[in-house]
Amino acid sequence: MKYTTNTIRKMFLMFFKENNHKIIPSSSLIPKKKSNLLFTNAGMNQFQDVFLGKKKYPFSQVVTIQKCLRTGGKHNDLDEVGYSEYHNTFFEMLGNFSFGTYFKKEAILYAWNLLTDKSWFNIPKKKLFVTVYYKDKETYNIWNKIIKLSKKNIIKIYNKKNKKYESDNFWQMGDTGPCGPCTEIFFKKKNNNNQEYNLEDKSQCIEIWNIVFIQFNRINKNEIIPLKITCVDTGMGLERIASVLQNVNSNYQIDTFKKIITYISKINNLNISNHQSLNVIADHIRAAIFIINENIIPSNEHRGYILRRIIRRALCHGNKIGIKNIFFYKLTKIIISLFNNNEKDLENKKKYIINILKEEELQFHETLNKGIKFLNQEIKKLKKPEINSKIVFYLYDTLGFPIDLTKDICREQKIYINQEKLNNIILQHKKNTKNKIKKFIQNTIHTDIKTIFCGYKKNKITATIKKIFINGK
Ligand code: ATP
Ligand code: MG
Ligand code: MG
Ligand code: MG
């Protein structure tokens, strides 16, 4: 195979190195303390302060392959995995950046040349089209006059209705601060005979590269002013460009994912090789391993909760395709072997990762089996495709079966859950719990005083109450 994932990584770095970019390693999946992101979700995260003008970077043109995770906030692709062929939770983002040196013309030329040049990715020019921000005439003209892309292959993207600056082609870091127009490059999966492509329909076309021109500073909702120093921030999904270059119809059919999926089938004696659940498991094991590698462990809050959700969702899909025994932790080996060229510390942490995964899997195994069995029985009884929210709550509250897994299973079988009713049940349950706690506190006040009197630490009882509050029971 000419363009293996590894070759693509190398070629990308080499191309930009030859064009005077400094290769910078990926930053951690955990953003710096002051960031409000749970996980790094784009190549630009590590350069945030540079774009904000708070920090001067020692290099003005850099290239990276950034580990990203999109499981929350503005970018939440977790529930897409299994349904979308082109979304992963964990993926690698190839990106080149200019901090005040080159701008629109050069950035577009770099991207275009890398994608279409015969000695690089060699994608036929007619297979590509682009989008531009409707006000960004400069970018439009570069595509049209310099790259010589016909007008029908340059799509203007407008702001969303009633929103001043909210377009897929206008990027902003936050409510204020650096912002600017983007241009995105799409790959045509089929010929649409001159009709406009539906950008959301990934059977027609897929977005491969986003190029952002940071040229404004947003002062407030209505005011933006030009920046003195303009920057370029780009991102292209490694798995997506691999699917294009390897001529397959899914991120999950590229060389690396094929190996993972074959391995899952082999060790579990399955005779399937193409299944939505295999995609989910293959995606989630990568994500889980990279999260654990950052010393996050499964828990009920914050990053640990995302990790737990990912692992449990994968186990649920394992159960769905008939895997009876614990299996997930066994996939660590293949993932580490696939990444051992560029993620050296994974190998050293292999045992640690396996232990965490195994423990979580063992702990959830019984709950999973009971929950799925119960849910399936209830689904069979249904006369119309709607499940009673009380059952969803019972599964969660009594059997410990996570609500998002119930939702996942119901979504797959096109069974409706009334979210409003479910919210009410949860709210009522919380109220009841609070009342119980209140009563408990009232009843224990005497004990509290007594304990102090006897010389015990007052904190002991406070700690117990706190714990009860946290657990919600
Ligand atoms: P999409 O519209 O397909 O969800 P996006 O617009 O959210 O993508 P960007 O934020 O522009 O994506 O990220 C830059 C590039 O990263 C995309 O053009 C794509 O190649 C890749 N990418 C984005 N999300 C994912 C994902 N979940 N899995 C794999 N690659 C992704
Ligand atoms: Mg997206
Ligand atoms: Mg997009
Ligand atoms: Mg995009």
Q: What is the pLDDT of residues 93-140, one digit of tens each?
A: 999 999 999 999 999 999 999 999 999 999 999 999 999 999 999 999
Atom of ligand 1 nearest to the CA of 235: 14
pLDDT value of residue 444: 65
Query: Tens digit of pLDDT for each residue in 358-407?
Result: 999 999 998 998 999 989 999 999 999 999 999 999 898 888 888 988 99
φ/ψ region of 53 (left if φ > 0, alpha if ψ in -120 to 50, else beta) reads left
Q: How many angstroms separate the CA atoms of 56 and 320, rounded?
A: 51
For range 69-83, the mean pLDDT:
93
Q: Return the axis-axis angle of helices 389-397 and 403-412, rounded to nearest 10°.
A: 140
Interface pTM, i.e. ipTM = 0.99
Mean pLDDT of 184-207: 90
Q: Is the pLDDT of residue 455 over 80?
A: no
Which distant-in-sequence residues (6+ apart) come within 8 Å of 78 by Cβ?
Answer: 70, 71, 72, 89, 306, 309, 310, 313
Q: Whose CA is nearest to atom 21 of ligand 1?
A: 237
Give CA–CA dist 454/447, Å, rounded.
10
Q: Whose CA is nearest to atom 2 of ligand 1?
A: 207
Ligand 2 center to residue 87 CA distance, Å? 8
Instruction: Give pTM, 2 decimals.
Output: 0.89
- Which listed ligand is nearest to 234 at the C-alpha? 1
Pocket of ligand 1 (CB under 6 A): 70, 75, 77, 87-88, 91, 93, 207-210, 235-237, 239-240
Residue 322, sorted as left (phi over 0), alpha (psi -120 to 50) or beta, turns out to be left
**Residue 214: which of 202, 203, 227, 204 has the closest Cα?**
227
- Check if the beta carbon of residue 202 is closer than 8 Å to that of residue 84: yes
d(CA 279, CA 36): 30
- Ligand 1 atom, smallest distance to 202 CA: 3
Probe residue for ligand 1, chosen from 80, 86, 169, 310 as the CB with the greatest number of ligand atoms within 8 Å: 86
Question: What H or E segment, with its residue span, contains residue 275?
Answer: none
Nearest alpha carbon, ligand 1 atom 12: 210
Q: How far is the CA of 32 from the centre of ligand 2 (A)?
A: 23
The mean pLDDT value of the chain amounts to 90
The pLDDT value given to residue 363: 94
* Ligand lying closest to the C-alpha of residue 254: 1
pLDDT mean over 279-292: 98
Q: Whose CA is nearest to atom 14 of ligand 1?
A: 235
Segment among 78-82, 250-254, 403-407 with least mean pLDDT: 403-407
Q: Which long-range contacts (CB under 8 A, 24 or more apart) does 200-205 make?
A: 202/84, 202/85, 202/86, 205/129
Instruction: Please give the share of the chain, as a percent, with pLDDT higher than 90.
Output: 72
> What letter represents residue 70's amino acid?
R
> From the CB of residue 388, how many other CB atoms can be counted at a distance below 10 Å?
15
Least confident of 184-188, 279-283, 420-424: 420-424
Q: Is residue 310 pLDDT above 50, yes or no?
A: yes
Per-residue pLDDT, 437 = 74
Q: pLDDT category, 463, cuts 50, 70, 90?
A: very low
- Asked whether 213 and 230 are in contact (CB, 8 A), the reply is yes
Mean pLDDT value of segment 161-173: 86
> Residue 453 corresponds to which amino acid?
F
Q: Looking at residue 73, what is its pLDDT? A: 86
Alpha-carbon distance values, 378 to 112, 307, 316, 385, 451 (Å): 54, 28, 17, 11, 49
Among protein residues, the one with the nearest Cα to ligand 1's atom 15 is 236
Taking Cα atoms as reference points, which of 454, 473, 466 lies closest to residue 446? Answer: 454
Query: pLDDT-derived band of residue 33, with 50, 70 and 90 as boundaries?
Result: confident
Nearest ligand, CA of residue 239?
1
Pocket test for ligand 1, best of 210, 239, 257, 310 (most atoms within 8 A of CB): 210
pLDDT of 300 over the 70 cut: yes
**Least confidently predicted of 83-87, 223-227, 299-303, 452-456:** 452-456
